[in-house]
Amino acid sequence: MRLGLKILVLCIIAYSLFSYQGTTAQNKKESTNYPNKDSELAILMRDLVENTEKVKKQIINGEEIEFFIEFKKLHTAVPTEVNLRDDGLYTAFTESYIYSVKELINTENDKATLYNNMIQSCINCHQQICPGPVKRIRKLKIKK
């Protein structure tokens, strides 16, 4: 429980930083200048958001989708909370998320639905482990 609370607090802090950075495109770039404050995983998550926004546009425009993220890094990137992977929950959610990405990559059919399923797996992990950004992640869904 104490660990859960700690992660929650960290996520709320991460979320406030994230929404602040979201206010101007300029500030977003500057965030890489503070490597001591931002964990490797937090930076990976920001790249993930950027990549996901790009893929969303590609699907809406009927273009080929491109992922530049190395998804394996989700398993190894150093998080703000060092005990994050201890109870196995994070790892299980990561596998489920990567599975949903593969489903999207491998389909030629309803990409929008599989894309929204993928966003739902971001949300599933975040609801359990890091609820701060959930509202922001929901907005990544494709409206149909």
- Residue ranges that bind ligand HEC, judged by CB under 6 A: 10-11, 14, 17-18, 39, 41-42, 45-46, 48-49, 52, 79-80, 84, 90, 93-94, 97, 121-122, 125-126, 129-130, 133, 136-137, 140
Least separation, in Å, of the C-beta of 110 and ligand HEC? 19
Least separation, in Å, of the C-beta of 61 and ligand HEC? 19
Residue 131 CA: distances (Å) to CA of 54, 94, 103, 115, 128: 23, 16, 25, 20, 7
Judge whether 61 and 97 are in contact, CB under 8 Å.
no
Judge whether 74 and 104 are in contact, CB under 8 Å.
no
Least separation, in Å, of the C-beta of 5 and ligand HEC? 14
Nearer to ligand HEC, 10 or 59 (CB): 10
Q: How many CA atoms lie within 13 A of 38 on its CB side?
A: 21
Instruction: State the CB neighbour count (10 A cutoff) for residue 94.
Output: 17
Nearer to ligand HEC, 139 or 144 (CB): 139
Nearer to ligand HEC, 16 or 107 (CB): 16
